[in-house]
Structures are given as C-alpha cells and as structure tokens.
Amino acid sequence: MVDILIIGGGGAGLTAAIHAKKNGANVTLVSKTYPTRSQTCMAQGGINAAIGANDSIQSHISDTLKSAQGLADEELVGILCEQGIDAIKWLDRIGVPFSRDNGIAQRKMGGASFVRACYAKDYTGLKILHTLYDQCNAYDINMLSERFLIDLAVIDGKVYGAYLLNIKTSTVELLHAKSVVLATGGYAKVYGKHSTNHVGSTADGIAAALRAGAKISNMEFIQFHPTALKKSSILISESARGAGGYLVNSKAKRFTDELASRDKVSLAITNEMQKGEEIYLDVRHLSAKFINEHLPQEKKLADLYENIDLTKQLIPILPAAHYTMGGICVDKNCATNVQGLYAVGECANHMVHGANRLGGNSLLEIVVFGKIAGEAACAYTKKEMPACKADKHKDIPSQINTNPTVDFYKKRTELAEIFYTNVGVKRNEQGLLVALEYIQVLQDELKNMGVKNTKLAYNTELAEFLEFKNIVLVAKTVVLSALRRKESRGAHYREDMPNKDDNYSADTICYQENDEIKFL
Amino acid sequence: MKMKLQRSDKIFEYEVPLSGVTLLEALGYIKENIDSTLAFSSGCRSSVCGSCTVRVNGKEVLACAYKPKNDDLIQPLRNMPVLRDLAVDMDRALAFNKIAKAWGLPKEEALHVSGEDAKRNELQSDCILCSACFSACPVYAVNEDFIGPFALTRALRYVNDIRQKDIKPTIEAIQTNGIYDCTLCNECVPVCPQGVAPKQDIEILRNKSGIMGYFNPNILAGFDDGLNF
Ligand SMILES: Cc1cc2nc3c(=O)[nH]c(=O)nc-3n(C[C@H](O)[C@H](O)[C@H](O)COP(=O)(O)OP(=O)(O)OC[C@H]3O[C@@H](n4cnc5c(N)ncnc54)[C@H](O)[C@@H]3O)c2cc1C
Ligand code: SF4
Ligand code: SF4
Ligand code: FES
C-alpha cells in the first residue's frame, strides 16, 4: 500500500507527486503514456504570471474573471494569480529553460491586459514537463507507465486505490493507496478528429470519477480554437494572427477582427461556414523571411498536413475543440466529494476558467493546483486511517466482448462528427436533442461492440475501447449540461438563446446514480 | 501506396489507399480499417511528444513527421524490447536519465539568468525523448548498460545550467558506462528530429570531466593492453 497514488503524468500529476513526496508521503505515479508524452508537452504559447514591471496580480485576476463571465470563484482565481508568481519562481529554480530578455521573457496572449505569458521558445509545455519529470527522478518517485486507470476502488464513499490495466500484459492490477489524485487531463477528444488535443485526452479520469460517485461540473464549456488545420485539426497558434495573418473566406474577403477572443473568432468563422464559405488563414503578405523566422512550426505543419506552402498558398482552417473547462468538482484543496479522492489539472474544475479559459492560464493552473493537491493529499494521509479491506477483483479483459458485431472505431468517428456539428461552436435545442438521442442509442449498442484482438501483449485496441466507453459516458454529460443551460455564455453559444441570462449564473453540476446522470 | 511493416519477425504488406498523408496517419488507417491488432505509439501528432518514432528503411524518423513512399519498410526501434509490432518498451531506456542524475539541483537563492546564460543549454533542452538516437547507437550491441545519447545530453543540459548548485553528482554518475563508452561514431546526430547533437554533448562532458580531474579509464586500459603485448 502506498500513501498516495497519482494517476496521470502530465504537468499536474508530476507537480502533485513532487510536492507530496517533498512533504514526506510515499508516492506512486501511474500513467497510460510515458509522462513526457503527455499533452502538457504540446503547449507552445506560455504560462501566465504577473511578474512584469507594469503588471499586477490584481490585473491578472480581473482579466481572468472577465473572461470567465461570472462562472469563476473569486477566491480561487485569487489563489491562482497570487501563487502564480511563486510557481514561476519555483519552475525557474528547478531549471525550466525559459527564454530570457531582462528576466524571464513574456509575451502577450489574447484577453491579457499586459504582456504576461512566460515562455520557452515555442516549447513552453515541453520544457516545463521535462523539467518536472527530471525532478520526479531526483525525488526518486516511483513512476509506472502503460498503466490505464479502469476504475477507482471505492467503498462507502471512500477511495482505497484504483484498478489499473497493465497495457503491456492486459492484466488488471489493484493498487492500494490511502489517497488517490486524479490528473488525467481533459475530454476534448470527444470531438475526435475535430480536436487539437493529444490522442489520450479521452476523459478517462472524469468517467472513472463519475462512476465512483464524484460530482462533475460545467461540462458544456468547451473552448474551440479558431485556427486548426482543416484536415487534421493540428493547431496553428495564435501567433500567426498576432503577427498579422488574415482570416478570409472563399471570396478572399476578410470577415472578422482576427484578434478578438477565441470564442468570438470561432463563432465568426462558423457563421461564415454556414453560409457555405470555406475559411482560410492568409499569411502570404508576410515576407518569406519573416515567416521562416517567426512561424517555422506553422510552415512545417501546413506542408506536412495540408501539402501547402503557406508563403504562397492559403491555409485551409476550421475551429477545433481545444480545451475543456468542465471537470471533476473540487474544493480549494482539490478534494472531491469522495473521501480521499483529489483531482487536479484539466480533468478537474478548479473554478478559475469559468465559461472561457484565458490562454496561458491552464499551464499555470496545473503548477499552482498541482502543489496544492500534492500537499493536501499528503496531509490527508497523515491522519490516522483504518486499514481497508480490499478484495473485489475486477477482471475487465474477460468481460469484454470479443466477437463484436459493431465496429467501435466507426462509432467513434460518427460520434465525433455529430458532436462537432450539434455540440460544437454553435448549439441549439434541436441539434442537442439529436446528439442526445444518438448517444442513447450508442449506449444500448455498446454491448455489441468490443475488441477483436484477443492477444494479451500490448493490446492497444483494448485500451482504445475502454477510452471509447469513457468518451460515450462523458459525451452524455456534455449534451445534458448544454441542454440545461438555456443561455449563451463564453464558450457555450446557443443560437436559439443568444443572450446571457442571470438565472444561469450558477454551475451545472451532475453525478451518476444507478447508471443515470442526475443534476443538482 | 504499398507499405511493408515488420511485425514480430515477419514482414507484412499493406495497401493503403491514401496519398500525401503522414506515416502516422497511414498506420492509423491500417489499424482502423484493415487490422485492429496493429500496435504503434502516438500522442501529439505534431512532433513534440516523442511517441511515434519508428525506423523507415533502416533510419529512425517520427511517424508524424514523415510522408511514406511506395514500398517503404517500417520497423520498430532497436536496442529496446518490442512490446508488439512497432511499439517498444521504453522503461529501461528512460531509466538512464535517472542513472545519469540528469536533474535540477537548485541553489538556495534564486538567480538572475541572462539571455546568454540561457543559450548554454537551450538546444539540449529541446530534446523530446523520442529515442531515435538511442535506437541508432551501436554501443548497445556490446554494452547494454551504456547510459546513452539522450541521457548524456540531458546530463549536459543540467551541467551547463548556471542555476545548478553542484554539478559533481551528475559528472560522477556518467563516468562509468557513460561518456567514455561512446565511440564518437556520430550515428545519433543525423537521426535527431530536434537537431540535438548527443555526440558533441558527450565530447563537451569529457572535457568538463577532464578539467574536474576525472580520467578516461579506456586510455589507461589501452596502455595496459599495449604493455602486455
Ligand atoms: C496544442 C495545445 C496547445 C496548448 N497551449 C497552451 C498554452 O500555451 N498555455 C497554456 O496554459 N495551456 C495550453 N494548452 C493547454 C494545456 O496544455 C493543458 O491544459 C494542460 O497541459 C493539461 O495538463 P494536465 O496535467 O492536466 O493533463 P495532461 O498533460 O493531458 O496529462 C494527462 C495525463 O494523464 C494520463 N492519463 C489519462 N488517462 C489515463 C488513464 N485512463 N489511466 C492512466 N493515465 C491516464 C496521461 O497519460 C497523461 O500522463 C494547450 C493545449 C494544447 C492541446
Ligand atoms: S556518438 Fe556515441 S552516443 Fe552517439 S551513436 Fe555513436 S556511440 Fe552512440
Ligand atoms: S536527443 Fe534527439 S534523437 Fe535523442 S531522444 Fe532527444 S530528441 Fe530524440
Ligand atoms: S505523435 Fe508525438 S512526436 Fe509523433
């Protein structure tokens, strides 16, 4: 038995592990990919903190609250922005190779009143993640990879460990722990190919928390990034527009302010598309020299995925699901309503992003709340605890249908398309009901789906099927939440109710009981 | 487009009706449409997570950054156990980061780092741990305990960091099965997708070690051999 089991090796999980260990806990960290392969490595833009000479914590707080549109908690935003400064200092001390000018280099991101995002070239997330990983080695933290969280082990509302699938052998391991910290990332891959995310952002931790009796909230809030490559949804960063790139339609006409906030630009693009237009990002007027210097990544990706030379051709783009604001309900210590269970990072709802996340605030969130979660879980395990009786063995692989008549890969693609069309940038009652019905049918069909590959060694089809089941469950909470929010706010835009309505200034909170999703 | 995949010790051929796609997309097509038992690793799809490295016609590449050509032969990486098909077990390779003690050892006081200081280890910290270099390194054929290219590059990353409190633990950790076991063959350099050059980093570490009073044990051994003639 370990004191703390951390599930997830992204920035949130690694930070929690380091701080828990520092405080004397015995920690094991498991993840379904190797830690350095987590989505955190993909963040390019930066991590916010009011360390600039003219900036202030107050300004960071008010920008964050403004973007959150009434759905963030002022105290928690205060914690994020205040402790953000120490978080950057800590990252600096442990060796994050930030870019430098006079001090740590910062750049301006959308919605920020000041230059506030600290960056390390275009590799901010990569360098933070790897530095944290190296610290975990320094602290001798036991890291087990290729372990897939199947379910939390919970008795009488209290967690005592987790059931993990060892992907290498297809065996189920029950790992006992006094406390469990979920740090499994977001759920944007519900949108499948219409998401900029890592292939692993499949809502596993949120689904497991739901099944364990945890509450989740604000699942309808999903941020769409306006400029993802059309065929692959690979992100073309904001800097392309920041540097002067235009958005144009099929008639080569500009149709919106390119520098407005992400939700507004995504909406403008979607409106234009509904008129039958194709949308392009145009950087041809920038000199080739400028592009080579400032947008080399974009140039490479456009060539790889769209076969185009962006110095000469228009870049076909679409908005894509990028960040999920909703997640597991936690208090200011990152504790869930299940005793001993904590959640941190994109899988949690820390009440700091509200209806719309500011670019650069999520890397900050994982470091600030990673520390809080690690320390809180550690404090919890120091309390006297009765030994748990653990017995129940969940033999997941043997319960899987190995003669499937319905192909889940096809359904996964179908669900993604339906979600993108009906639960995307623009929503309405009718479309949401279509999506809900689709999911209900899908749930009935799940018994006819399964895994054709019966080999035990490294059966990735099995892991992907478990992910798909989680996606279906969480997709349902997204649609149900979107149906309940009969207003438009931040990233949740209802064309049938285009205005903000003060009757909806509370969180949408749900939980699962007897296989049904219920709302508070 | 025809593609040949090495799966365990057999070569399988697949016809992929796509063109202009990345190798990773082609593998995804095979898995979803032809054979769901195919195993390979992926993550970011944008060359930054280091998951998808394979060998194409013998050379290490990121599958998400390579456009396959007709008749390409795709194989798993070398020098580590194959889990299945193109997926390899990285546990042992990654453990060398720990053996090399490649980590930040912060000073008590925060330090001002200049742009110049930051350049000292910028390139080394671009490493995405894709293991291309590890797979290309011939030393593993003779010494499976060799700390290897990426872990040594990572060691230099911290040794060259002015924020480091003490570089001695790292330098000491890479003396055995480390910098002197490298043959300086340069195989690790051209395969790196990030333009990192582990071989050069190893040479720098040798110089630093020399300045700090460590000896190349192979040179001494060499003399002994000579005298025995
Ligand atoms: C392209 C892109 C660019 C971005 N740019 C920025 C930016 O510039 N600034 C910013 O602030 N934010 C940015 N973000 C958002 C930010 O990167 C994420 O919100 C953040 O990294 C999430 O960190 P995390 O630790 O919560 O989760 P992740 O990094 O997603 O890690 C999740 C971990 O959980 C593990 N896991 C998941 N499911 C299971 C399971 N079933 N069993 C076991 N382990 C599991 C995974 O293996 C992984 O280790 C960007 C995101 C994307 C996609
Ligand atoms: S130069 Fe050294 S580390 Fe690089 S491949 Fe050759 S022997 Fe291996
Ligand atoms: S040094 Fe280059 S080749 Fe080696 S692991 Fe790092 S990125 Fe990959
Ligand atoms: S999928 Fe991440 S490097 Fe290729």
Starting from the CA of residue B187, give the closest ligand. Answer: 2
In chain A, what is the straight-line distance between the N-terminal and C-terminal CA atoms, in Å? 35
Residue A137, chain B, CB below 8 Å: the answer is yes
Instruction: State the complex-level ipTM.
Output: 0.95
Cα A250 → chain centroid: 32
Q: How far apart are CA A198 and CA A354, in angstroms?
A: 23
Count of C-beta atoms within a 10 Å radius of residue B32: 18
Cβ of A10 below 6 Å from ligand 1? yes
Q: Tokens 């998951």 label which residue?
A: B51
Cα-based distances in Å from B71 to A120, A181, B212: 40, 47, 52
* Interval A484-518: pLDDT, tens: 999 999 999 999 999 999 999 999 999 999 999 99
Smallest CA–CA distance from B50 into chain A, residue: A37
Q: Can you give the pLDDT at residue A287?
A: 87
Mean pLDDT confidence for A83-91: 97
Full 3-state SS string of A50-113: CCCCCCCHHHHHHHHHHHHCCCCCHHHHHHHHHHHHHHHHHHHHCCCCCCECCCECEECCCCCC
Count of C-beta atoms within a 10 Å radius of residue A54: 9
Structural domains of chain B in order of their starting residue, each with its CATH number? 2-88 (3.10.20.30), 91-222 (1.10.1060.10)
Query: Min CA distance, B220 vs chain A (Å)?
Result: 32
CA angle at A188 for the pair A185 and A189, rounded to the nearest 5°: 100
Q: Do the chains contact at B126 and A409, CB–CB below 8 Å?
A: no
Residue A34, chain B, CB below 8 Å: the answer is yes
What φ, ψ does residue A343 adopt, rounded to 5°? -140, 145
What φ, ψ does residue B12 adopt, rounded to 5°? -110, 145
Q: Can you give the pLDDT at residue B214?
A: 93
Residue A39, chain B, CB below 8 Å: the answer is yes
Task: Kindly state the tokens that stand for A512.
Answer: 């699962």
Q: Do the chains contact at B125 and A199, CB–CB below 8 Å?
A: no
Q: How far apart are CA A317 and CA A228, in angstroms?
A: 5
Q: Can you give the pLDDT at residue B228?
A: 45
Q: Can you give the pLDDT at residue A389?
A: 59
The answer on pLDDT for B42 being more than 50 is yes
Higher pLDDT, A108 or A366: A366
Residue A38, chain B, CB below 8 Å: the answer is yes
Cβ of B135 below 6 Å from ligand 3? no
Question: Among the options A116, A147, A262, A357, which is catalytic?
Answer: A262
Provide, as residue numbers in chain B, all residues whose Cβ is less than 8 Å from the Cβ of A43.
none
DSSP H helical segments within A335-459, as ranges? 361-382, 396-399, 408-422, 429-445
Mean pLDDT confidence for B6-12: 95
Task: Kindly state the tokens that stand for B177.
Answer: 């099965």
Task: Kindly state the tokens that stand for B167.
Answer: 């570089």
| Mean pLDDT over each residue of chain B, to the nearest integer | 94
Domain boundaries defined on chain A: 226-321, 396-498+509-519
**CATH number of the domain at A396-498+509-519, out of 1.10.10.10, 2.60.40.10, 1.20.58.100, 3.40.50.920?**
1.20.58.100
Ligand 3 pocket mutation pick from B64, B152, B192, B200 by most atoms within 8 angstroms of CB: B192
Is the four-CA dihedral A385, A390, A396, A397 of positive or negative sign? positive
Q: Can you give the pLDDT at residue B226?
A: 45
DSSP state of B9: T
Q: Can you give the pLDDT at residue A388?
A: 63
Q: Can you give the pLDDT at residue A399?
A: 80
Q: How far apart are CA A17 and CA B56, in angstroms?
A: 38
E strand or H helix at A471: helix A460-484
Query: Min CA distance, B113 vs chain A (Å)?
Result: 7
DSSP state of A114: S
By Cβ distance, the residue of B97, B110, B121 closest to A92 is: B110
Task: Kindly state the tokens that stand for B207.
Answer: 């110089």
CATH number of A226-321: 3.90.700.10
Using DSSP bridges, classify how beta strands B72-75 and B53-56 pair: parallel, antiparallel or unpaired. Answer: antiparallel
Shortest CA distance to A355 belongs to which of A50, A64, A74, A84? A64
Q: Do the chains contact at B89 and A461, CB–CB below 8 Å?
A: no
Query: Min CA distance, A495 vs chain B (Å)?
Result: 33
Q: Can you give the pLDDT at residue A295?
A: 84
Q: Can you give the pLDDT at residue A291?
A: 86
Whether the pTM exceeds 0.95: the reply is: yes
The atom number, within ligand 3, closest to the CA of B153 reads 1
Going by pLDDT thresholds of 50, 70 and 90, the confidence category of residue A395 is low
DSSP H helical segments within A74-224, as ranges? 74-93, 124-138, 204-211
Mean pLDDT confidence for A291-311: 88
Cα A68 → chain centroid: 17
Q: Can you give the pLDDT at residue B229?
A: 43
What length does chain A have? 520
Query: Min CA distance, B186 vs chain A (Å)?
Result: 25
Cβ of B60 below 6 Å from ligand 2? no
- Grouping H, G, I as helix, E, B as strand and the rest as coil, residue A63 is helix
Cα-based distances in Å from A81 to A24, A45, A62, A114, B43: 27, 18, 10, 14, 30
Q: Can you give the pLDDT at residue A104?
A: 96
Going by pLDDT thresholds of 50, 70 and 90, the confidence category of residue A294 is confident
Per cent of chain A over pLDDT 90 is: 87
Instruction: For ligand 3, atom 8, name the residue with the nearest CA.
Output: B130
Q: Which residues contact B106 (CB under 8 A, 6 or more apart)?
A: A93, A94, A95, B163, B164, B165
Starting from the CA of residue B196, give the closest ligand. Answer: 3
Q: Which residues contact A204 (CB under 8 A, 6 or more apart)?
A: A32, A148, A149, A184, A466, A467, A470
Q: Reply yes or no on whether A484 is catalytic.
A: no
Per cent of chain A over pLDDT 70 is: 97
What are the beta bridge partners of residue B62? B53
Provide, as residue numbers in chain B, all residues whose Cβ is less than 8 Å from the Cβ of A451.
36
Indicate the burial class of A311 (C-beta count within 10 angstroms; 0-12, 13-18, 19 or more): middle
Q: How far apart are CA A397 and CA A456, in angstroms?
A: 9
* Interval A10-58: pLDDT, tens: 999 999 999 999 999 999 999 999 999 999 999 998 999 999 999 999 9
